[in-house]
């Protein structure tokens, strides 16, 4: 009986995986509008609002599927929404958890204003 209990406990520990969000540090650079692009002769313009997300699903609430939710990946996702984005300003970061029947989803959501060089296609 002790061996059975130990075996069950071991299996539960092995299946419990880590699905915690990886917030990390998200400030990659600062922006000084007067100095940033003076040498290049290009002014950054407001491109619009963008949103990005990074999510992880946990099957049976314990077994993580895919990479952990990451602030860095959510910011990179937001930057990729508009071509020519150089930086994000007015950033809002939110952490959401949805619990469904048999699984849960944890997401980091980023909302920001994109600034960059306007391309011909915009």
106: domain CATH number is: 3.30.110
Q: How many domains does the chain have?
A: 1
Decide which of 101 and 32 is more confident. 101
Q: Is residue 71 within 8 Å of 24, Cβ to Cβ?
A: yes
Confidence (pLDDT) at 121: 60
The H-or-E segment that residue 73 falls in is helix 71-79
From residue 20, how far is each of 79, 83, 93, 115 by CA, in Å? 23, 31, 16, 31
To the question of pTM greater than 0.85 for the whole model, the response is: no
Averaged confidence pLDDT in the chain = 80
Closest to 61 in 3D by CA, of 20, 17, 104: 104
Confidence (pLDDT) at 28: 55
Q: Which domain holds residue 63?
A: 2-116
Confidence (pLDDT) at 3: 86
Decide which of 81 and 39 is more confident. 81
Q: Is residue 101 within 8 Å of 59, Cβ to Cβ?
A: no
């Amino acid at each position: 009986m002790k061996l059975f209990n130990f075996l069950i406990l071991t299996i539960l520990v092995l299946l419990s995986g880590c699905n915690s969000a990886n917030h990390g540090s998200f400030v990659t650079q600062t922006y000084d509008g007067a100095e940033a692009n003076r040498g290049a002769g290009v002014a950054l313009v407001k491109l619009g609002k963008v949103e990005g997300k990074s999510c992880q699903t946990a099957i049976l609430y314990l077994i993580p599927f895919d990479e952990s939710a990451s602030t860095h990946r959510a910011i990179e996702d937001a930057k990729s929404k508009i071509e020519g984005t150089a930086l994000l300003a007015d950033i809002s970061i939110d952490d959401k958890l949805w619990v469904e029947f048999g699984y849960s989803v944890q997401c980091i959501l980023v909302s920001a204003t994109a600034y960059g060089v306007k391309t011909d296609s915009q």
